[in-house]
Amino acid sequence: MELWYTENQNDDLRFSCRVTRTLHVEKTPFQHLAVLETPCFGRVLVLDGIVQTTVWDEFMYHEMIAHVPLNTHPRPEKVLIIGGGDGGTAREVVRHPKVKNAVMVEIDERVIAVSRQYLPELSRGLDDPKLELRIEDGIEYVTKHPGEYDVILIDSPDPIGPAKGLFGRQFYEGVAAALKEDGLFVAQTESPLFNPDLIAEIYRNLREIFPIVRLYLTCVPTYPGGMWSFTLASKKYDPLEVKPEDIPALPYRYYNAEIHRAAFALPQFLQEILRRA
């Protein structure tokens, strides 16, 4: 008998993969958490029935949420990560040579603990001396640290449950206040194919707060539709003005100088969504 995991990506679409072992299952104070072993994707982290990351394709997401903003800011010395309990974003942040210290704020400490146990490829950066871990609400945290950060990364799950507030205008205003006068931030902003209204709303809100707002794309095969978006909002620096020679020569697997610029080249349907925002 075969065991299969199925994610209901929306009312009309399901994603399934065969499972060889269920490594961990629990109900935390905030969400249902599971780690599965699969032949296609290796170990898979699932929160509330939704795939968060896999060891097979995580680099396509984590390199892009981290290195695009870190290389846009000329001095990304102090970085805040909201969410990202699996550790993948923190891993990328701490290996950037210009980052001096980073704070990661995760509301659910069980995600961190389980990721340490089952996802060492992602979580190894959590023990880096550059990184400070804080177990608290990221929405509340930003309100207590005005003008403190060069770069803020919002590595949130889908906008349900405890993560819903991380997609609202009030939170983005708090993020802007927590940034230094030349700071910038990036948030993962879901699927252009299945969440166009959400992307338009976020883009519209951020344009009213920041002078520079740009959407960029990556490919994450285990996310709905495969195409995934991030939105960068900046007080001063434009990601399209980054010089290739200024990008550190790290052992990337997805990101590089060409991808940095190409990621902002949007298909026509997405340009139209933003134009109507």
Torsion sign (Cα): 52, 55, 61, 64? positive
Place of tokens 């995991």: 5
- Binding-site members for S-methyl-5'-thioadenosine are 31, 106, 137-138, 162
d(CA 162, CA 157): 9
- Binding-site members are 31, 62, 86, 106, 137-138, 155-158, 162
User: Token pair for residue 1?
Assistant: 């008998």
DSSP string computed for 103-146: EEEES-HHHHHHHHHH-HHHHGGGG-TTEEEEES-HHHHHHT-T
Task: Tell me whether residue 155 is one of the annotated catalytic residues.
Answer: yes
User: Token pair for residue 39?
Assistant: 């032949």
**Cβ pair 229, 188 in contact under 8 A:** yes
d(CA 213, CA 232): 6
- Catalytic residue, candidates 57, 155, 197, 246: 155
- Binding-site members for spermidine are 62, 86, 155-158
**Cβ pair 239, 214 in contact under 8 A:** yes
- Active site residues per annotation: 155
